[in-house]
Structure 1
Amino acid sequence: MSVAEAHHRDITGGWLRPAVFGVMDGLVSNAALIAGVVGGGASASTVAITGLAGLAAGAFSMATGEYTSVRSQSELSLAEMEIERREIHRNAEAEERELALLYESRGVEPGLAREVARQLHRDKEVAWRIHTREELGIDPDDLPSPWTAAISSFVSFSLGALVPLVPFLVGLPSLGLAVLLTVLALFTTGAVVAKLTARPWWYGGLRQLLLGGAAAGVTYTIGTLFNVTLG
């Protein structure tokens, strides 16, 4: 890693977005599910089974979705990069002029832009990598891994979904305790994400707490209404 790179956080690899999304989704969806079931008057064992089913279904769904989406994006990127490789071999002069014009549009003097493009095109592999980054916005050496995204999503969703379920699994079937654990987890996770993205920690924590609390409140109300109606 260069000195310049050392000043930046590692945001590549395809793990951060699915991990963050997975934790948040697991927390909110399972807390909302449990609140709705409790509001409907279900027993503690039913809540535990429902919560475990929600955890498993959500984790596998998230992992499958992340793998498919990242894999599809990578395949599309590879296809576009191959098109660029063929163009450099078939129309080297045109591609060289295109690269020079690109540098000119970014403020490089025309003569210098042409010279830089000429020197880069001495090696077709180097030229291909430069064109891929500059024209397509893709780093051929750093494509996100679908397996990394899938595993990150699966693990993070499971951890998030487990939090509101803990009281019902350890013999303390209390919605209040589940809510307390969920509130703490939502705020903490939001605060950590805010720090990673250079936002105020309290802002991220409160934002996630409000969003998650609203979802759980809606489902609890729905469960209560159904319980009253069926009762």
Structure 2
Amino acid sequence: MRQSSIQTEVDASYLYQKLAENETDQAIASVFAKMSEIEKGHAIAFLKTLNLEAKDMPAPSRRAKILNTIGRYFGYDYVLGVLMDTEKSISNALLLAKKKNNIPIQGNESNHVKILRNILDTEAKVGSKAITKFESRHRSVGGNALRAAVLGGNDGLVSNFSLVMGVAGASDGQSGVLVAGLAGLLAGALSMALGEWISVKSSQELYENQMQLEMDELETNPEGEMQELSLIYQSKGIEKDQAEKMAAEAMKDTSVAHQILVEEELGINPEELKGSAMEAALYSFVLFGIGAVIPVIPFFFTNGFKAILYSAMLSAIGLFGIGSAITLFTGKSVWFSGMRQVVFGLLAAAITFGIGKIIGVSLE
């Protein structure tokens, strides 16, 4: 048993406990607390395989503590999303290991994933109007704004760093680098913002059209839609008679029936339509710009080789920071992820610098 596996269980136990402490719904808080105990039990069991005792259990990692801090200030939806990803990874790894070693699959390998999914969408199954609490949480976590922030900054930094180095190679860092860097920042950020706006807007328009069609069907063929509701409930393992009663109950309120059909039949979460396309575009613009401005900063104050060197150093620091942030989702070593990001980023910049150098020489 690897120490990393024990650390994963310890971190999961710690984060589940934090979720329990910050959950207002006592029933859900109780589930999270129990999950924390289970993960702690796993860690103790793993320790015993190494002839260690509970007192030898490691403390929660820095990654887990950072995630808790993020949850405290920005909401524990982020933490829940990371735990869902972790549980999926553990489940998949366990299934693959059993298949590889011809060990019978018992069906409980994905229990934790199922529990989290049930927490997120159980209310959707019974057509409650409280559906938005957990389902919207799940969707917002799925979108993972934190991950989007990290990747948006990475796109801006890597692309503009490469551009700046290409122009610097062609001009020895003397002329046009600052203008090119700022132009690259604005062009990239505007492109990202426009792309995000189009993506959100087109998705909203498509979903709104599908939702309106579903409402039209409810109004023109209520019996057929009630049968669809019954089948949806039956597909979830509910007995036919009970499913028909639930469908009939839901049909008493067209808005409730519409909401269930939209989510279950079309797979659309109405909460997603409330997002502003302009807000998403602005968010994308800012994230890209933050990353893209890093390699340009030295050229505001100096030029030539000194500016090129400072730009590379600042960009390397930024790349390491982004690589480190990625470990919040992957659980890998900070040094490994950070240095990998630095190597790839510097390699891309070196290639464009070399191409710029060749072009600059040929134009002389």
Could you tell me the TM-score, scaled by structure 2's length? 0.57
Q: Is the counterpart of residue 145 in structure 1 residue 276 in structure 2?
A: yes
Give CA-to-partner distance per residue, 1:173-194, whole Å, 9 cap, x none. Answer: 4222211211221221233244
1:200 aligned partner: 332
Contact 2:173 2:307 survives alignment (8 Å): no
Q: Which of 178, 181, 186 lines up with 1:48 in the alignment?
A: 178
Amino acid at match of 1:82: Q
Amino acid at match of 2:214: E
Contact 2:150 2:325 survives alignment (8 Å): no
Root mean square deviation, CA, Å: 2.6
Structure 2 CA distance, aligned partners of 1:63 and 1:164?
20
Distance 1:59-1:128 versus aligned 2 partners, 3 A rule: same
Aligned-partner SS, 1:82: helix
In structure 2, stretches of 5+ residues that fail to align are 1-22, 30-74, 79-136
1:111 aligned partner: 241
Q: Is the counterpart of residue 127 in structure 1 residue 285 in structure 2?
A: no
Could you tell me the TM-score, scaled by structure 1's length? 0.87
In the TM superposition, 1:52-201 aligns within 5 A as 52-143=182-273, 144-171=275-302, 173-195=306-328, 197=329, 199-200=331-332
Amino acid at match of 2:332: P
Give CA-to-partner distance per residue, 1:58-101, whole Å, 9 cap, x none. Answer: 11221112111211111111111111111111111111111221
2:59 aligned partner: none
Distance 1:112-1:215 versus aligned 2 partners, 3 A rule: farther
Instruction: Give the 4+ runs in structure 1 shifted more than 6 A.
Output: none
2:163 aligned partner: 33
2:140 aligned partner: 12
Structure 1 CA distance, aligned partners of 2:181 and 2:292?
8
Aligned-partner SS, 2:268: coil
Q: Percent identity?
A: 38
Aligned-partner SS, 2:255: helix
The offset of 1:32, in angstroms, is 0.3
The offset of 1:208, in angstroms, is 3.7
Aligned-partner SS, 1:171: coil
2:89 aligned partner: none
Structure 1 CA distance, aligned partners of 2:245 and 2:308?
69
The offset of 1:152, in angstroms, is 0.6
